[in-house]
Amino acid sequence: MTEDEKKLVDSENFQSVLKELLSVYRPLLKENLKRAESPDDLRKEAEAVAASCDDEVTLANRIFEPFVTEAMARRLLPAKALELLGPFEQWRWCLLHIRCCIVFGWLLCRGPRTFRAFVYYLFRYWKCVRQVLGTPIHDPPTADEHHDFQTLVSALAEAYRPYLRDQLSSVDSAASLPDEVFGGKLDCHEGEQDAAAIFERLLTVETAPALLGAAQFDAHSHAQFFWFCRCWCLCSIRFGCCLARARNLLDVLRCLVGYFLCLRDCFRPLTCEIIAPDGCVEEKPIPAAGIFRGVEIRGTATGVSCDHYILEWRPGFGAWRTTGISYPGGAAQGACGVLNGTLGYLRTFPFVSGGLVEIRLCVFSSQPGTAPCCTVKQFLLQKDEVWIRSVEHVEAPDLFDPSSQLTDGAGDVRSFGHGFRVFGSAVVGGCENSEIKRYTLSYHAGFVVNPTLPGFTQFWQVDYLTAMQLDAGSNRVSEGVLTSSWRQPNFPPALCNPFADFLTEDYWLNLVPQAFPITPSEFPCPAPPTWITSPVPLINCSSGRYTLRLTTEDTGGGIKHHLRQVWIDNKQITPAHAHISQIAGIDPCANIDLRQFAPPGGSCAVPWPANLLGVAYDELIEEGNFSAPSNNFGGYSLWIKKDGAPDPGVPIPLPGPGAPPWGGTFVSTTRVGDPGVRCVNAAPPAGVIPPLTDGILAVLDMRRLDAVCNPGEPALTLKRGECCGYVVTLLVWDNSICPLLSGGHHELRHTFPLCICNNVGSDQ
């Protein structure tokens, strides 16, 4: 014991309270001594009475009901507290509530408790408070009572979560714990402050209405001593918890010493301290708080009449800001009672740049005229924004799951071909010797989730070497185009401008390698290095599943990776895949007589069908895999026009033959025929390939070309006895995203010329 503790124990008030406490323990000790002298009676008692959760509550009330009295309180409380409380009738409700607080701590700490058990004892505490205040809980609880308890449980979850994070952190740093034990930093008192911090985070001004009930809260919350009643309760919970863990009467005495000191500590001044972040701190995801990238702010915000606290930040020595600050539980400001715990969070993305950052904590009193307690902490923020967000603005639902596929707004997985841009972020730096030096993009055949696997092939590199890049802070790509290169504009050969470099956008040509269009004559000064893009391998016609890897390297040698899986489709649509072979058995450039399709007499009442034969086909990215996006056939359309009319003509209904006024569906998404060819090095192999096989692309209704049957389209029809040239156009496409190709995907347009004579009725 310290000298102050010895003086406290020798004081008249302490001795009086100690005797009262021992007097309630004495009958219990006698009963247990009697049980110890008669094992048979102990056995019979155990057989006669089943164990119940109510037993420990009954025992707690037996101990603490005679102990918590007005007389005891007047000997227990410091003079400042009694002066603040005033006449007993003003604070009778507070004293009644204090017994529940002691019982709560005693019940909770009698053994190891899970979070679920904590919720149960919180329920008993809540029932006790409502009972002693004259507003007992109904059975079953009312809707308002159910809502109040749900509020308390939610608050407990938020108060308990930092404790769990600390436990996980201790597990992760297990290698350092032996040294703490050997050095005397870790002993039997470990964890006592953690439990106290949970109680402080739980019992706040925000949860008081749910605990006391709205009416009782309204009746008492305006009292000048309301804040002290909370502090008294917290000390009582800690006292009850200490007694539950007491192994002998010496421990009971020590618990009472702590209770006296805690009540005097209620009148300590406002306390504000930030213990983290400190030094060099890397931003990270904080899923529990819904933060994409941020840092946790830890410290203490307590003290006499503490009402609330606020957090602010500023870059370097700029203006103080609150943008990006979040408090536990989503509150608008911090609740007092945080002891070496989570004060809040700073959302660093997209608000905070790397480098020097300051955090300010201010704790405010409920007492007028009391100055707030404020403190400032500096740290260096290390940025960690390394990710591939999208390919051609097609994103994955889960940015940090490397197996999350790139999907469009409809949720369909998409494939990409020929050349595309990679979008994302390559931002690291902020701490000493950690600025970004370069970033690279690489690919690996197949879908992988380990960035350190062998087999990655680099196809892109950006180095940050020139003065303009570094001085202007351009050595960052934040949510931009990663497939970019540094260049300088052209200057007359005699001039040199080593500072006018800028970032230009480019595409990764994943099918055909192509050097960036930079020549030495454009750079009379030393220039950033250039390189040649590396196409994917020729296997499977440069198509299939691939994994992209973004890698950043900082000036200190730090490496970060991010992966994104992507389907690549470089299988072209060739004339074999998109062509018209015949119209009703008639080859291209041949003459067609309409009378061979018309019924006798040239009646317009029935269709004049003519089959349009050919192929509309797109190969699977993976042979045998008919699921999207391996099966990414887009569709085909057909048009017909009279010679001299604008391209492509009028659309042909599919599958036809249609009817006046020739409306209907003009796009078919079903493959027709078979080209008789496959990728020569398909992987997996294509197997047996059928011969070239034509199918029916459409059934033309030749009435449409007859002026008598179709007077509404004179630009398309022939008068009877008239001949003219016609062109049928077929367009076949796939669903791959190819921004450098016409239409933005693989497609082929095929034309079928023929001469048509309208000789209907000439010999019918």
SS3 for 521-569 is HHCCCCCCCCCECCCCCCHHHHCEEEEEEEEEEECCCCEEEEEEEEEEC
Question: Residue 602 pLDDT more than 90?
Answer: no
The answer to whether the bond into 646 is cis (omega within 30° of 0) is: no
Whether 178 maps to a domain, the answer reads: no
Measure the CA–CA gap between 130 and 19, rounded to whole angstroms: 30
- Based on the domain organization, do 226 and 339 belong to the same domain? no
Contacts 24+ apart (CB under 8 A), 665-672: 666/637, 666/638, 667/635, 667/636, 667/637, 668/616, 668/635, 668/636, 668/637, 669/633, 669/634, 669/635, 671/616, 671/617, 671/618, 671/633, 672/614, 672/615, 672/616, 672/617, 672/636, 672/696, 672/697
CA 652 to chain centre: 48
The pLDDT value recorded for residue 487 is: 43
Measured in whole angstroms, the distance separating CA 578 from the mean position of its chain's CA atoms is 44
pLDDT at res. 466: 55
Model confidence at 178: pLDDT above 80: yes
Domain boundary among 568, 592, 614: 568
Contact 444, 452 (CB under 8 A): no
**Residues 234 and 335 both lie in one domain:** no
Spatial CA neighbour of 567 closest among 538, 547, 541, 537: 547
191 and 286, same structural domain? Answer: no
Given pLDDT bands bounded at 50, 70 and 90, which one contains residue 105? very high
Q: Rounded distance, CA 510 to CA 536, Å?
A: 6
Q: Are residues 195 and 117 in the same domain?
A: yes
470-503 residue pLDDT tens: 544 445 667 778 877 544 444 344 444 444 444 4
Shared domain for 308 and 280, answered yes or no, is yes
Same domain, yes or no: 533 and 421 = yes
Q: Is 275 found in the same domain as 261?
A: no
pLDDT at res. 491? 38
- Strand positions, DSSP E, 557-673: 559-568, 578-583, 591-593, 609-616, 633-642, 650-651
Rg (alpha carbons) of the chain, rounded to whole number: 41
User: In total, how many domains does the chain have?
Assistant: 4
Tell me the per-residue pLDDT of 659-691, one tens digit each, with 9 for 90 and over. Answer: 888 888 999 999 999 999 999 999 999 989 999
Domain end residue (candidates: 355, 382, 409): 382
Question: CA-CA distance, 743 to 609, in Å (whole number)?
Answer: 32
Q: Which pLDDT does position 683 carry in this prediction?
A: 93
In a domain, 179, yes or no: no
Domain contains 224 = yes
pLDDT on residue 24? 86
Say if 703 falls within a structural domain: yes
Residue 515, pLDDT score: 41
Whether 195 shows a pLDDT value over 80: the answer reads: no
Q: pLDDT digits over 19-76, tens only?
A: 999 998 888 888 888 888 888 877 877 777 767 778 888 888 888 989 999 999 999 9
For 354-371, what is the mean pLDDT? 90
Q: Is the pLDDT of residue 365 over 70?
A: yes
| Position 177 in a domain | no
Window from 141-145, 203-207, 565-569 with minimum mean pLDDT? 203-207
Answer whether 248's CB lies under 8 Å from 114's CB: no
Tell me, yes or no, whether 100 and 208 share the same domain: yes
Q: How far apart, in Å, are the Cα atoms of 605 and each of 701, 722, 759? A: 12, 22, 18
How far apart CA 496 and CA 175 sit, in angstroms, is 57
Q: Are residues 378 and 247 in the same domain?
A: no
The verdict on 289 and 249 lying in the same domain is: no
Domain that residue 640 falls in: 578-757
| C-alpha to C-alpha distance for 187 and 12, rounded to whole angstroms | 33
Instruction: For the chain, give the percent of residues with pLDDT over 90.
Output: 54
Which H or E element spans position 214?
helix 214-220
pLDDT confidence of residue 485: 57
- Of 338, 360, 382, the last residue of a domain is 382
pTM: 0.68
CA gap 739, 393 in Å, rounded: 11
Does residue 123 sit within a domain? yes
Q: Are residues 322 and 230 in the same domain?
A: no
Is 189 a residue whose pLDDT tops 80? no
User: Of the given ranges (152-156, 378-382, 705-709), which has the lowest mean pLDDT?
Assistant: 152-156
Q: Do the domain assignments include residue 505?
A: yes
Q: Domain check: are 97 and 214 in the same one?
A: yes
Considering the domain boundaries, does residue 182 fall inside one?
no
